[in-house]
Structure 1
């Protein structure tokens, strides 16, 4: 697991359902799931064969879309992806720290 994401889970993740000012629900450590367990087996070409190594940590507006972080031991490690439907999935940040900086500065930067 990327170190900055592990630190977030250990020190800052919520303990109950919450919505921030952008209608984002930051998942507590007990809600964190990988893509297949939460989304199912159908996933676009962005994370083929590695979907089980991506963990969802935030969804928008009661699951309109969500963000997941790569915990793989390859070049994708730490990258945050937007999962919004096969044709809209994309990498939005190079690390969890970068994602949080973008989200808090102007959350549209991670869409």
Structure 2
């Protein structure tokens, strides 16, 4: 028996990889989803797939913020947003390779990042 396939009692082969619910992302065409809502500083690892990505970013508060995407070795790939006060915007960039990246946020307010 191959991984991803199974047999039921009627000896009918079922291909588990072709079964997708309507909310399932097709990872061959789409990045993994990132959706975060936090308050204050935070660094978190996220797996991203090579190719174009758009990040929807929000910051609420009067203080300053800096939201960066780092390579897994800690070097900066891109600044997604930087400033002070309320902010809502988008940042597009090309993910250079499929691997883990670090979402690094320095903020005194509330913020969210969503990968469209």
Higher helix share: 1
Which is greater in Rg? 2
If asked which structure has higher relative contact order (CA below 8 Å, sep 6+), I would say 2
Instruction: Report the TM-score when normalising by structure 2.
Output: 0.30
Instruction: Report the TM-score when normalising by structure 1.
Output: 0.31
